[in-house]
Amino acid sequence: MTIRVVLADDEDLIRAGLRIIIDSEPGLTVVGEAADGAAVLPVVRRERPDVVLMDVRMPALDGIEATRRLVALEEPPKVLVVTTFENDDHVYDALRAGADGFLLKRARPEELVRAVKLVASGESLLFPAAIRALAARRPAARVPGVDRLTGREGDVLRLMARGLSNGEIAAELVVSPETVKTHVGNVLTKLGARDRTQAVIAAYESGFVSPG
Protein backbone atom coordinates (compact mmCIF):
# COMPACT_ATOMS: atom_id res chain seq x y z
CA MET A 1 0.00 0.00 0.00
CA THR A 2 1.34 3.41 -0.98
CA ILE A 3 1.91 5.93 1.80
CA ARG A 4 0.40 9.27 0.80
CA VAL A 5 2.30 12.38 1.91
CA VAL A 6 1.50 16.10 2.04
CA LEU A 7 4.29 18.67 2.30
CA ALA A 8 3.81 21.88 4.32
CA ASP A 9 6.68 24.35 4.09
CA ASP A 10 6.85 28.00 3.02
CA GLU A 11 10.12 27.47 1.13
CA ASP A 12 9.64 26.25 -2.44
CA LEU A 13 13.14 24.77 -2.57
CA ILE A 14 12.58 22.69 0.57
CA ARG A 15 9.28 21.31 -0.75
CA ALA A 16 10.89 20.50 -4.10
CA GLY A 17 13.70 18.60 -2.39
CA LEU A 18 11.34 16.67 -0.15
CA ARG A 19 9.16 15.77 -3.13
CA ILE A 20 12.12 14.39 -5.08
CA ILE A 21 13.20 12.21 -2.16
CA ILE A 22 9.72 10.89 -1.39
CA ASP A 23 8.56 10.31 -4.96
CA SER A 24 11.76 8.40 -5.74
CA GLU A 25 11.01 5.85 -3.00
CA PRO A 26 8.74 2.93 -3.94
CA GLY A 27 5.65 2.89 -1.75
CA LEU A 28 5.73 6.63 -1.04
CA THR A 29 4.10 9.45 -3.01
CA VAL A 30 3.49 13.16 -2.53
CA VAL A 31 -0.20 13.95 -3.09
CA GLY A 32 -0.24 17.63 -2.16
CA GLU A 33 1.66 20.69 -0.99
CA ALA A 34 0.96 23.76 1.13
CA ALA A 35 3.10 26.89 1.41
CA ASP A 36 1.52 27.92 4.71
CA GLY A 37 -0.10 26.33 7.73
CA ALA A 38 -3.47 27.83 6.84
CA ALA A 39 -3.43 25.98 3.53
CA VAL A 40 -2.68 22.57 5.02
CA LEU A 41 -6.17 21.73 6.28
CA PRO A 42 -8.00 21.98 2.93
CA VAL A 43 -5.24 19.98 1.21
CA VAL A 44 -5.48 17.26 3.86
CA ARG A 45 -9.27 17.14 3.64
CA ARG A 46 -9.07 16.81 -0.13
CA GLU A 47 -6.18 14.35 -0.43
CA ARG A 48 -6.54 12.38 2.83
CA PRO A 49 -2.80 11.72 3.27
CA ASP A 50 -1.27 9.26 5.69
CA VAL A 51 1.53 11.62 6.74
CA VAL A 52 2.04 15.39 6.72
CA LEU A 53 5.60 16.73 6.75
CA MET A 54 5.19 19.97 8.67
CA ASP A 55 7.50 22.95 8.96
CA VAL A 56 7.03 24.77 12.28
CA ARG A 57 7.92 28.29 11.19
CA MET A 58 5.49 29.56 8.54
CA PRO A 59 4.16 33.12 8.11
CA ALA A 60 0.34 33.23 8.31
CA LEU A 61 -0.27 30.14 10.45
CA ASP A 62 2.61 28.26 12.04
CA GLY A 63 3.04 24.51 12.11
CA ILE A 64 2.07 24.30 15.78
CA GLU A 65 -1.47 25.57 15.27
CA ALA A 66 -1.73 23.71 11.95
CA THR A 67 -0.80 20.49 13.75
CA ARG A 68 -3.37 21.17 16.45
CA ARG A 69 -6.07 21.59 13.80
CA LEU A 70 -5.03 18.44 11.93
CA VAL A 71 -5.04 16.32 15.09
CA ALA A 72 -8.60 17.51 15.79
CA LEU A 73 -9.89 16.02 12.52
CA GLU A 74 -12.05 12.91 12.71
CA GLU A 75 -9.42 10.88 10.87
CA PRO A 76 -6.19 12.83 11.40
CA PRO A 77 -3.01 12.10 9.46
CA LYS A 78 0.28 11.46 11.18
CA VAL A 79 2.32 14.65 11.54
CA LEU A 80 6.09 14.64 11.22
CA VAL A 81 7.71 18.00 12.02
CA VAL A 82 10.65 18.85 9.79
CA THR A 83 12.80 21.50 11.43
CA THR A 84 16.16 23.23 11.19
CA PHE A 85 17.05 23.21 14.89
CA GLU A 86 16.33 20.34 17.27
CA ASN A 87 16.52 22.60 20.33
CA ASP A 88 13.82 24.95 19.02
CA ASP A 89 10.99 25.45 21.52
CA HIS A 90 8.63 25.43 18.53
CA VAL A 91 9.44 21.74 18.10
CA TYR A 92 8.42 20.99 21.68
CA ASP A 93 5.19 22.95 21.24
CA ALA A 94 4.43 21.05 18.03
CA LEU A 95 4.95 17.74 19.82
CA ARG A 96 2.66 18.91 22.62
CA ALA A 97 0.10 19.87 19.97
CA GLY A 98 0.05 16.28 18.71
CA ALA A 99 2.90 15.83 16.23
CA ASP A 100 4.13 12.24 16.09
CA GLY A 101 7.80 13.15 15.92
CA PHE A 102 10.34 15.43 14.34
CA LEU A 103 13.16 15.26 11.85
CA LEU A 104 15.97 17.70 11.11
CA LYS A 105 16.09 19.25 7.64
CA ARG A 106 19.72 18.20 7.40
CA ALA A 107 18.74 14.52 7.76
CA ARG A 108 19.88 12.15 5.03
CA PRO A 109 17.30 11.05 2.43
CA GLU A 110 17.21 7.51 3.82
CA GLU A 111 16.49 8.91 7.30
CA LEU A 112 13.57 10.91 5.94
CA VAL A 113 12.15 7.86 4.18
CA ARG A 114 12.51 5.73 7.29
CA ALA A 115 10.84 8.42 9.43
CA VAL A 116 7.85 8.69 7.09
CA LYS A 117 7.39 4.93 7.05
CA LEU A 118 7.77 4.73 10.82
CA VAL A 119 5.12 7.29 11.69
CA ALA A 120 2.80 5.94 8.97
CA SER A 121 2.96 2.55 10.69
CA GLY A 122 1.75 4.08 13.95
CA GLU A 123 5.10 4.36 15.70
CA SER A 124 6.48 7.60 17.15
CA LEU A 125 9.89 9.09 16.54
CA LEU A 126 11.38 9.59 19.99
CA PHE A 127 14.61 11.51 20.46
CA PRO A 128 14.99 11.36 24.26
CA ALA A 129 18.02 13.63 24.52
CA ALA A 130 16.41 16.37 22.44
CA ILE A 131 13.05 16.14 24.20
CA ARG A 132 14.81 16.09 27.58
CA ALA A 133 16.75 19.25 26.71
CA LEU A 134 13.58 21.03 25.60
CA ALA A 135 11.63 19.87 28.65
CA ALA A 136 14.38 21.07 31.00
CA ARG A 137 13.57 24.66 30.06
CA ARG A 138 9.90 24.28 31.03
CA PRO A 139 8.47 24.55 34.56
CA ALA A 140 6.80 21.43 35.91
CA ALA A 141 3.03 21.35 35.56
CA ARG A 142 0.26 19.13 36.85
CA VAL A 143 -0.68 16.40 34.36
CA PRO A 144 -3.92 14.53 35.15
CA GLY A 145 -3.54 10.77 35.26
CA VAL A 146 0.08 10.54 36.37
CA ASP A 147 -0.96 9.79 39.94
CA ARG A 148 -3.12 6.90 38.70
CA LEU A 149 -0.20 4.94 37.24
CA THR A 150 0.68 1.69 38.95
CA GLY A 151 4.27 1.03 39.97
CA ARG A 152 4.91 -1.14 36.93
CA GLU A 153 3.25 1.36 34.58
CA GLY A 154 5.53 4.01 36.05
CA ASP A 155 8.55 1.81 35.33
CA VAL A 156 7.38 1.40 31.72
CA LEU A 157 6.89 5.16 31.30
CA ARG A 158 10.40 5.89 32.60
CA LEU A 159 11.86 3.43 30.11
CA MET A 160 9.73 4.91 27.32
CA ALA A 161 11.25 8.29 28.20
CA ARG A 162 14.67 6.77 27.59
CA GLY A 163 13.54 5.85 24.09
CA LEU A 164 13.34 2.09 24.61
CA SER A 165 11.12 0.01 22.35
CA ASN A 166 8.59 -2.48 23.70
CA GLY A 167 11.04 -5.31 23.15
CA GLU A 168 13.81 -3.48 24.97
CA ILE A 169 11.46 -2.61 27.85
CA ALA A 170 10.43 -6.28 28.07
CA ALA A 171 14.08 -7.32 28.34
CA GLU A 172 14.79 -4.65 30.97
CA LEU A 173 11.81 -5.65 33.14
CA VAL A 174 12.05 -9.39 32.36
CA VAL A 175 8.45 -9.63 31.14
CA SER A 176 6.86 -10.53 27.81
CA PRO A 177 6.48 -7.98 24.99
CA GLU A 178 2.72 -8.56 25.18
CA THR A 179 2.74 -7.52 28.84
CA VAL A 180 4.68 -4.37 27.96
CA LYS A 181 2.23 -3.58 25.18
CA THR A 182 -0.62 -3.81 27.69
CA HIS A 183 1.20 -1.52 30.14
CA VAL A 184 1.96 1.01 27.38
CA GLY A 185 -1.72 1.04 26.40
CA ASN A 186 -2.71 1.63 30.02
CA VAL A 187 -0.19 4.47 30.34
CA LEU A 188 -1.52 6.19 27.21
CA THR A 189 -5.11 5.81 28.40
CA LYS A 190 -4.47 7.17 31.89
CA LEU A 191 -2.45 10.12 30.62
CA GLY A 192 -4.87 10.85 27.79
CA ALA A 193 -1.90 10.60 25.44
CA ARG A 194 -2.27 10.08 21.70
CA ASP A 195 1.00 8.15 21.39
CA ARG A 196 4.34 7.45 23.07
CA THR A 197 5.67 10.92 22.30
CA GLN A 198 2.73 12.54 24.07
CA ALA A 199 3.19 10.21 27.05
CA VAL A 200 6.90 11.04 27.35
CA ILE A 201 6.19 14.77 27.19
CA ALA A 202 3.58 14.35 29.94
CA ALA A 203 6.16 12.47 32.02
CA TYR A 204 8.62 15.35 31.78
CA GLU A 205 6.04 18.13 32.18
CA SER A 206 4.63 16.59 35.35
CA GLY A 207 8.07 16.05 36.86
CA PHE A 208 7.42 12.28 36.95
CA VAL A 209 10.62 11.93 34.94
CA SER A 210 13.36 14.45 35.62
CA PRO A 211 14.86 16.17 32.53
CA GLY A 212 18.19 16.11 34.35
Mean of the per-residue pLDDT values of the chain? 89
pLDDT tens, residue by residue, 151-193:
999 999 999 988 888 899 999 999 999 999 999 999 999 999 8
| pLDDT higher than 70, residue 86 | no
Between strands 28-34 and 101-104, the pairing is: unpaired
pLDDT tens, residue by residue, 37-53:
999 999 999 999 999 99
Name the pLDDT band for 128 (thresholds 50, 70, 90).
Answer: low
Name the pLDDT band for 205 (thresholds 50, 70, 90).
Answer: confident
Share of the chain above pLDDT 70, in %: 95
* pTM, two decimal places: 0.80
Structure confidence at residue 2 (pLDDT): 95
**Average pLDDT of the segment spanning 128-141:** 72
**Average pLDDT of the segment spanning 51-57:** 93
**Average pLDDT of the segment spanning 7-25:** 95
To the nearest 10 degrees (0 to 180), the angle between helices 177-191 and 151-161 is 90
Kindly report the backbone phi and psi dihedral angles of residue 83, in degrees, each rounded to the nearest multiple of 5, phi listed first: -135, 160
Cβ contacts of 129-132, under 8 Å, gap ≥ 24? 130/86, 130/87, 130/91, 130/102, 131/92, 131/95, 131/197, 131/200, 131/201, 131/204, 132/161, 132/204, 132/211
| pLDDT higher than 80, residue 139 | no
Name the pLDDT band for 103 (thresholds 50, 70, 90).
Answer: confident
Share of the chain above pLDDT 90, in %: 55
Who's near 70: CB < 8 A, 6+ residues apart?
Answer: 40, 41, 44, 52, 76, 77, 79, 98
| pLDDT higher than 70, residue 206 | yes
